[in-house]
Amino acid sequence: MAPAPPDLPAPTADRAPRTPARPRRPTGPPPGPLPAGGDRLTEDELTSLAFLILFAGYENTVHLIGNAVLALLDRPDLLRRLRDEPERVAAAVDEFARHDGPAPLAIRRFPREDVAIGGVTVPAGETVLLSLASANRDPRRFPEADRLDPFRGHSGHLALGHGFHYCLGAPLARMETEIALTALLERLPGLALAVPRDELRWRPSIRARGLISLPVIC
Ligand code: HEM
């Protein structure tokens, strides 16, 4: 072994080349505003990303699980089939997201210049709201688009966005939903609605498609 560097105490000398351990919790004051420009995030971008991860990451997945469970309670034939074939739940998650996804709208866009789309000119600076829910029911892409069919195979839906801003948490969302649905189907054989269907209340929001609560009995 190489001799210990003279400025290190003897017991740590053999570990000197290792990267120092990262503290388990952040220490010291929070970092100040980050410089704008370059490839660094601005403070505004960082704040909005933190909100996005917290709310989009939590609420969307909760709503997807709730919407999927309700869809299965509406369709006992599908519920039975997925219970019998749990290996199909993973693929079914994408169909639940396509058919009744929790994020019907994309995040707002603002064109930097006039854009012509489908015979309409969107002036620069206007707010553009893209309907992912509408795209996901496009009959040119999805035959019988209104029909929930967890066995239609990979569908190329837009429930998790597309391209540059594709959902950062997509693998986590898929995994959480698959685990939750698989566990519910396996562990709760008597799963059923605890209230009449028309008493269920949806969140009063155009941005979030999700139930306020889903009372069930098992
Ligand atoms: C079922 C659950 C989820 C759905 C339906 C969903 C949906 C979406 C959609 C549609 C977009 C694109 C928005 C756009 O282009 O305008 C998006 C982006 C994003 N999602 Fe999710 N999401 C889900 C779960 C999560 C989770 C679990 C996380 C984080 C832990 C997350 C974090 C993000 C972030 C940070 C972005 C922005 C990515 C970017 O702008 O580059 N999402 N999500």
For the stretch 109-151, pLDDT in tens is 999 999 998 899 999 999 999 999 999 999 999 999 999 998 8
Decide if 126 is inside a domain: yes
Please, how many CA atoms are within 13 Å of residue 153, restricted to the half-sphere of its CB?
2
Q: Report which ligand 1 atom has the smallest distance to the Cα of 52.
A: 35
33 located within any domain: no
- Measure the CA–CA gap between 37 and 154, rounded to whole angstroms: 39
Q: Is residue 11, in this structure, part of any structural domain at all?
A: no
8 A C-beta contact, residue 61 and residue 177 = yes
Q: What is the pLDDT of residues 72-105, one digit of tens each?
A: 999 999 999 999 999 999 999 999 999 999 999 9
Evaluate whether residue 37 is within a structural domain: no
Q: What pLDDT, on the 0 to 100 scale, is given for residue 69? A: 98
Tell me if 5 is assigned to some domain: no
**Helices vs. strands in the chain: H and E counts, helices first:** 6, 4
CA of 15 to the centre of ligand 1 (A): 42
Total residues found in the chain within this entry: 218
Domain that holds residue 175: 43-217
Q: At 12, is the secondary structure helix, strand, or coil?
A: helix
CATH code: domain of residue 158? 1.10.630.10
pLDDT tens-digit readout, 140-194: 999 999 999 988 876 789 999 999 999 999 999 999 999 999 999 999 999 999 9
Please tell me the distance from the alpha carbon of residue 107 to that of residue 126, in angstroms, as a whole number.
14
CB neighbour list of residue 83: distance below 8 Å, 6 or more residues apart: 185, 186, 189
Task: Note the pTM of the prediction, 2 decimals.
Answer: 0.81
Q: Look at residue 29 and tell me whether its pLDDT is greater than 60.
A: no
With a CB cutoff of 8 Å and minimum separation 6, the contacts of 1 are 14
Which residue's C-alpha comes closest to atom 43 of ligand 1?
167
- For the chain, the domain total comes to 1
Q: Pocket of ligand 1, candidates 48, 51, 60, 67: which has the most ligand atoms within 8 Å of its Cβ, to mutate?
A: 60
Segments of 40-119 assigned E as strands: 115-117
Residue 192 placed within a domain: yes
